[in-house]
Structure 1
Amino acid sequence: MHYQRANPDTGGESFLLRFEGVCSDRIACLLVNSGRGVDIDDLLDESRGEHLAGIIINNAHPECYCTLGENARDDVPIYATHQTAQIIATALTGPHARTVDQPETILEQMVVVDGWHQFVNGVQLHPVPVGHAPGAAGFLFEIVDGKRYRTLFVADEYTVRQAGGYPGVSLDLDVEIDAMIVTDAVDQPVQPALTEACSIICERANTGSTVLVTADEPTGLHVAGLLGRLEQSRSVTILGRIATLWEEFGYSAPNVTIHPEDRVEALGSGSIAVATPTTPVQGLSGRLFEELSDDPDAVVVRLTHGEATPMSASRCMVQSLPWRNLPTHDTLSTVIDAFTPVQVVVADRNAAADRGGPSCDSFVWCIEDDLVYTLFDGARWVAPAEVDPDTEHRIRNRVSDRYEEPLLSEHGPTIPLPQYSEPDLAAEGINAETVHEQIQDPVPQSEPTEQPATPMPPPAPSDTTAESSATDGGTTSIGASLAALNERLTTVQSMIDGRTHRASVVNAGDDVYLFRIRNPPASFEHGQEVSLLVTADDDHGLNPPQESQRQAGTEPTDDGSDTETDSEPSDAPTEAA
């Protein structure tokens, strides 16, 4: 068996497995995901008898099947779970269908796998839960030679957490794994990013904004199910293909309503709408974006799996948030330790970090290029060249001899399937308490009250006093101190001449903070630049009457409290913001 990455420079989600000796005159090849930049003609060497015998689609994110129409040869089966096959079928048909070559051919050749299925003679495959996204699956392979068999677990993108109601990788799977193929892990845990995305969406809606969430089909189903179960979310409306799939799968959530048809009227103040595609320049989300683009109070939240495409100018806010439900390095180590395979192949999508492979008692291949690597030589699993003989001997000796055991596909334990159950926010990695805290208004609404007058600053010392202090042994930096004091007095005077009002801080993520103004004046305009003077509540005693507010902004304090600001229209950039 040989392994080759199919698109390491354009996504890295695809690879090719070659099985020699299973067919009498040919080498059977299996493509796992048909992602960006994959060209099967460039991968196969037909002079050696290589032919494409099948394609696996692990999940229904578009980047896993976007070149499927170009690579699906006649009568080549395309293996997927029922949910993944249904999502792809819905995405390729009906209004606003995704642009993929030969959609009819893809649907005709799609094979739903819900148990053991023969790939080629001597090789069986079975889907297993891997979390990550609704309907996603890994595949367990049984490779048979007479009565002997070996196992390969293709996990690819995975989580041990629940994802959209689907279970993650089971760490107590009652099967001994010889080899695993996994995707490299991310540096930061994903749970805070998912929680932050839900918090921002709910916060925007709770301030009265119209919120449009754009995502691909699996992510849309995922986030809609989570938002619908958060007490802090308002009405969540799912539209178009996501609504169609929600109905077909029989999902439900307390705050979710569905509209399979294109209904622009579903957009409303304080509401959350979820639609496809992620980049709202076409399709249903493109139509909805056009409706909101001139509304300065509207917010478009794009849930992305990678780098976000820049958007054209609009008056509404457009924000891209990461939704990459992938394992951390600790999770990768936990999964490997649970299965203790002889061999681990890591498709390294973060080669620039140069972190090396996971630390485990296995042969570890960290593959960054598109070369062909032999994983199994017909007799045993191959160790990388850098593994020393003593380590190789130890790893081989600790593996039990399963060559004469009954075949898994005939006499083995029941292998779990990716099946939906009611999502649990904690099991999904969502911290509902954090969401609740983030959207709470730190400054209670109240009627304006008379405030004490602003105290006048003390008079500045004269130059004569300064000279005398220096002559009498005072600090030699008195000039600098006076300059700073005069600057402070000028600032205070501007506050007295102008007006201040209260504002609260909104954390928009990615080190971006927005400032929500209490009763903003009518003179405010979208895109207007203002000069800001920012002070925290505890820093001074300035509390002018609220009814005399003018243009202003705020800057976050260390504890996230409200701030009082003072500003006037200006041609200068807003440096404090």
Structure 2
Amino acid sequence: MRITYQHANPRGGRESTLLRFEELIPDQTVAVLIDAGSGATVDDLLDRSADEYLTAVCLTHAHLDHYESLGRVIQDGAPILATPSTTAILEDVLAAGEAYYDITETERVIDRLDACDSWTRLVEGLHVHPVPAGHAPGACGFLFAVRDDDVYRTILATGDFTRRGAAGYPGLPTDLPVDVLVLTGATNSSFEATATELVTSITERVLAGAPVLACVSALTGVQIAYWLGHYFDRIDERVPIRLAGHVANVYDRLGYEVPAVESIPVFDDPGQFVENGAIAIAGPEVPVGGSSSRLFEQLRTDANAFVVQVTGGGTDPVTSGRCTTADFVFSNHPTREVVDDVVAAYDPVHAVIVHQRNDGADRFTDRYDSYVWATDDADEYCLFDRGGWTGPPWVSERTVRTVEANTDMTGHLFQDISSSSVPVPTVERTPSVDLTGEGLHLDSLDERFGGGESVADTSPPSPTADDAAESAVDDAAESAVDDAGEPADEGSPGLADIERRLDAIETRLRADEFEARVIDAQDGVTLLRLDEEIDDVSHGDRLTVSLSPIE
């Protein structure tokens, strides 16, 4: 048996990899493509004269940079394997993508789509199983098991991954048997801080009574709605969250039921989304078309409105209009330290770095006690050849001895690869909610918004200003009427006295002080958020504010 790898789009995002397995089938090379990003091709890579055919495409998740070329690479009757969640949404994703990108052959892609959630036989001697990968709802990696006489050789292609969960979907495990790690090298050291700041900004504005619009891609929109819905439930705030268009479709297809979240895939009146103290979530990421553009037009001239644009980077946000705008780059990748921890946990013979180029790929060279492949071309490289692992031709004998001394080169004994004897974590969404495990800094959020585990309060409520006013009015009225229900005598307060008391009560209430926080002060607009609720005020009321900074 012989195993090789090859970049399928070295001049693109380099997230697409072709794995070849020779001698599994007589006179034929089995080829499996992992992801089909921009510029991915197999026609130029497969040698028909040597009987090389595409056996399968493994799609890790439904982000554009991983599915864009699916319609151009499928051939030879190869199935497209994906998790049940990705399979459920891909038709909607492709349909939406056609409006903005060069997406082709969508019907043929859907016909080839095959949901995969357990060990699946590709050919005799080669099985594959999806593994959870965090990163985005429905994302996965793929674990391959290749029969080599009486043992199996294993390859894990992580796809884009995080150890964090994503909208209820678990992160990448680190307890699988792995010989070859095809590792996405994309990292981000600031995701958790950015995600927390994003949730903070939206929460501040919506609790201050502003109408909020979040412009996002579909999967990111679902993830943000999941965070917001569950966080508002945690802090006992009833904030309507309405998903529009494509985001709503994906939410429904994935079967979510998040508190306070309503999906409205088709709508005639954009005004039904725009409400003070409510959130609308729609795509695309920048409101220049689609649902987000229609909703943005409703808010463009509203100085009280807040529009946040959540992009994947490299896109200029829209800043025109009287509304307040903000933008965030949403790049859900692990830190470098987490990548190192994953490699250390798996301790593979080979680490093949993908989705990185130039310096980003070079920083992995000689970083691990494994054979590290950080190539940037379309050459085919051999990983295993007839009974043994082979290192890169450029490594020294010292490196070979180090790898052989520090890694398990013997393979894995599995009795029945297609049974549960080789346990792999499920790729399905979990019912439990762990916002901290998804990267949100709940301590920071709770400190600002008073969250935490809700505890039933059985003590009598403290009297409010309104309670005091009502009590005073009752006392005054009672003193003006005797026990028999007749008007009190001249020694008791009369109606004029009651009126004076009511005036005094009103004056005292109007003089009450309420602490507030400045949440925005720019472009001639200052927004305040009160730390406690004031009854009997509504949007548009004019109030007198006396400023007294609190030390």
- TM-score (ref. length: structure 2): 0.75
- The alignment status of 1:12 with 2:8, answered yes or no, reads no
Match of 1:155 among 154, 158, 173: 158
Shift of 1:400: 5.8
- The alignment status of 1:325 with 2:332, answered yes or no, reads yes
Counterparts of 2:38 and 2:246, CA distance in 1: 23
Q: Which stretch of structure 1 is more off in the superposition, 175-184 or 428-437?
A: 428-437
Shift of 1:326: 0.7
Match of 1:113 among 111, 116, 135: 116
Q: 2:387 aligns to what?
A: 379
SS of equivalent to 1:395: helix
The runs of 5 or more residues in structure 2 that have no matched partner are 451-515, 529-543
- The alignment status of 1:169 with 2:172, answered yes or no, reads yes
SS of equivalent to 1:379: coil
Q: 1:213 aligns to what?
A: 214
Distance 1:547 1:390, change over 3 A: closer
> Does the CA-based 8 Å contact 1:178-1:342 persist in structure 2?
yes
- The alignment status of 1:132 with 2:142, answered yes or no, reads no
- The alignment status of 1:346 with 2:353, answered yes or no, reads yes
Shift of 1:504: 6.9
- The alignment status of 1:286 with 2:293, answered yes or no, reads yes
SS of equivalent to 1:53: strand
Shift of 1:91: 2.3
Q: 1:82 aligns to what?
A: 84
Q: 2:27 aligns to what?
A: 25
Q: 2:201 aligns to what?
A: 200
Aligned runs of 1:55-454 on 2, under 5 Å? 55-73=57-75, 75-93=77-95, 100-171=103-174, 173=175, 175-231=176-232, 234-262=239-267, 264=270, 265-311=272-318, 313-347=320-354, 349=356, 351-353=358-360, 354-357=362-365, 359-397=367-405, 398-399=407-408, 401-402=410-411, 405-410=414-419, 412-421=421-430, 422-437=432-447
Per-residue CA distance 1:500-552 (angstroms, 9 max, x = gap): xxx976589xxxx8885269xxxxxxxxxxxxxxxxxxxxxxxxxx8899xxx
SS of equivalent to 2:425: coil
SS of equivalent to 2:385: coil
Greater length-normalized contact order (CA 8 Å, ≥ 6 residues apart): 2
> Does the CA-based 8 Å contact 2:414-2:421 persist in structure 1?
no
> Does the CA-based 8 Å contact 1:8-1:349 persist in structure 2?
no
Counterparts of 1:120 and 1:54, CA distance in 2: 10
Give, as a single letter, the amino acid of the residue that structure 1 aligns with 2:5. Y
SS of equivalent to 2:25: coil
> Does the CA-based 8 Å contact 1:60-1:217 persist in structure 2?
no
Shift of 1:270: 2.4
SS of equivalent to 1:218: helix
Counterparts of 1:316 and 1:65, CA distance in 2: 35
Give, as a single letter, the amino acid of the residue that structure 1 aligns with 2:241. V
Distance 1:299 1:71, change over 3 A: farther
Shift of 1:350: 5.2
Shift of 1:86: 0.9
Give, as a single letter, the amino acid of the residue that structure 2 aligns with 1:385. P
Q: 1:456 aligns to what?
A: none
Distance 1:104 1:329, change over 3 A: same
Per-residue CA distance 1:393-415 (angstroms, 9 max, x = gap): 34324416336653433473322
Q: 2:526 aligns to what?
A: 517
Distance 1:390 1:352, change over 3 A: closer
Counterparts of 2:424 and 2:527, CA distance in 1: 58
Q: 2:36 aligns to what?
A: 34
Shift of 1:312: 7.3
Q: Which stretch of structure 1 is more off in the superposition, 261-270 or 104-113?
A: 261-270
How many residue pairs were aligned? 460
Distance 1:28 1:103, change over 3 A: same
SS of equivalent to 1:85: helix
Give, as a single letter, the amino acid of the residue that structure 1 aligns with 2:231. L
Shift of 1:310: 4.6
> Does the CA-based 8 Å contact 1:130-1:169 persist in structure 2?
yes
Q: 1:531 aligns to what?
A: none
Distance 1:248 1:562, change over 3 A: farther
> Does the CA-based 8 Å contact 1:6-1:14 persist in structure 2?
yes
Counterparts of 1:18 and 1:289, CA distance in 2: 48
> Does the CA-based 8 Å contact 1:346-1:357 persist in structure 2?
no
**Could you list the runs of 4 or more consecutive aligned residues of structure 1 that deviate by over 6 angstroms after TM superposition?**
94-98, 546-549
Per-residue CA distance 1:46-90 (angstroms, 9 max, x = gap): 344332222111011122112212222262211100001111122
Q: Which stretch of structure 1 is more off in the superposition, 215-224 or 392-401?
A: 392-401
Distance 1:124 1:202, change over 3 A: same
Distance 1:125 1:517, change over 3 A: same
> Does the CA-based 8 Å contact 2:389-2:409 persist in structure 1?
no
Distance 1:102 1:268, change over 3 A: same
SS of equivalent to 1:159: coil
Shift of 1:341: 1.2
Counterparts of 1:341 and 1:420, CA distance in 2: 28
Counterparts of 1:24 and 1:336, CA distance in 2: 35
Counterparts of 2:323 and 2:61, CA distance in 1: 32
Distance 1:547 1:294, change over 3 A: closer
Give, as a single letter, the amino acid of the residue that structure 2 aligns with 1:151. T
Counterparts of 1:36 and 1:119, CA distance in 2: 25
> Does the CA-based 8 Å contact 1:147-1:406 persist in structure 2?
no
- TM-score (ref. length: structure 1): 0.72
> Does the CA-based 8 Å contact 1:185-1:332 persist in structure 2?
no
